[in-house]
Amino acid sequence: MNLFRRVLSALSPALLLFLTPACAAKEAAVPAAVVKARPALWKIVDKDTTIYLFGTIHILPPGIDWYNGPVAKAFESSDTLVTEILEPTDPETQARIAKVALADPPRNLREALPADVRKKYEAALASMQLPVSAFDANDPWYAAVALSTLPILKDGFGTMNGAEAQLVSRANGKKHLALETAEQQLGLFDSLPQATQVTYLNEVLDSFPDVRKEILQMVEAWKTGKADDLAKLMNEEESDPLLMKVLLVDRNKAWARWIEQRLKQPGTVFIAVGAGHLAGKDSVQKQLAVDGVKTKRMR
């Protein structure tokens, strides 16, 4: 599994930006020609409930017009928006989130890395004009998140260009619910064994030189509605079954159960989650199908 791609799907955009070091927190404003996109959309219907499933790329370059056609129509007809989490805004929650990223018990990150991983890690930090000690107090998973997002944020990509931020800004009084909490999402990473976190970091480092190329491949598959191609890009090269289980499979099962419960209530719901969750053999739709819930591709 390519873990650079997976981290961009596993964490919500609000957390990706919140966890990004201050040196890259300001997203670059890059003028761009507008490109029309046709991302995939699915629908689940029963006698009194409609649920739309929309897969997103959490961090996008500027200039992609995806809010059109069936997606815009579906969203505007919905009374409820559901995203992965609600953006953490209160100081207490933000403080808890920041604390999760610290190693507990305290230890030096670089000293815990194998020599070959440490060499790649320090070279990656140096290439970003960051001190090699930048994340010494943090867990390996946090360093992996930072190194997955820093290069593309500096290159003009941004969470504010992403679908979630735009949908929230267009919600206009719609009810806004979440499938997870910020603490739950971060707990996915923080609960991983140290060895697994180091594996995670190492694979992110191996992908580091090709970050821009890889995210552009993801964006191209997403904006042209090629869900299966996107799933292959985001979920391929599975190197650690535990990571796949924790970051993808278990969450898809939980979200499918949430959808099944929501179908018992009337209304129209628009669910926007990372696109990697809505394609492939372990997708939310596949989990729903196990229980006989059918989804229909709308675009």
Structure-model confidence comparison of residues 212 and 76, the more confident one:
76
Structure-model confidence comparison of residues 33 and 222, the more confident one:
222
Q: What is the pLDDT of residue 226?
A: 94
Structure-model confidence comparison of residues 62 and 224, the more confident one:
224
Q: What is the pLDDT of residue 8?
A: 60
**For residue 244, is pLDDT > 90?**
no
| DSSP secondary structure letters along the chain | --HHHHHHHHS-HHHHHHHS-GGG-S--------EE----EEEEE-SSEEEEEEEE-SSB-S-EE---HHHHHHHHH-SEEEESSPPP-SHHHHHHHHHHTB-SS---HHHHS-HHHHHHHHHHHHHTT--TTTTTTB-HHHHHHHHHHHHHHHTT-BGGGSHHHHHHHT-TT-EEEESS-HHHHHHHHHTS-HHHHHHHHHHHHHHGGGHHHHHHHHHHHHHTT-HHHHHHHHH-S---HHHHIIIIIHHHHHHHHHHHHHTTS-EEEEEEEEGGGGSSTT-HHHHHHHTT---EE--
At 25, is the pLDDT very low, low, confident or very high (cuts 50, 70, 90)?
very low
Q: What is the pLDDT of residues 161-178, one digit of tens each?
A: 788 989 999 998 999 999
| Percent of all residues in the chain with a pLDDT value above 70, rounded to a whole number | 87
Q: What is the pLDDT of residue 27?
A: 47
The two structure tokens encoding residue 17: 């930006």
**For residue 26, is pLDDT > 60?**
no
Q: What is the pLDDT of residue 263?
A: 98
Q: How far apart are CA 200 and CA 222, in angstroms?
A: 24
Q: What is the pLDDT of residue 180?
A: 94
**For residue 290, is pLDDT > 60?**
yes
Q: What is the pLDDT of residue 28?
A: 47
**For residue 57, is pLDDT > 80?**
yes
Region at 102 (left for phi over 0; alpha for psi -120 to 50; beta for the rest): beta
Query: What's the whole-number mean pLDDT along residues 229-254?
Result: 82
Structure-model confidence comparison of residues 25 and 116, the more confident one:
116
**What predicted TM-score, i.e. pTM, was given to this entire model?**
0.89
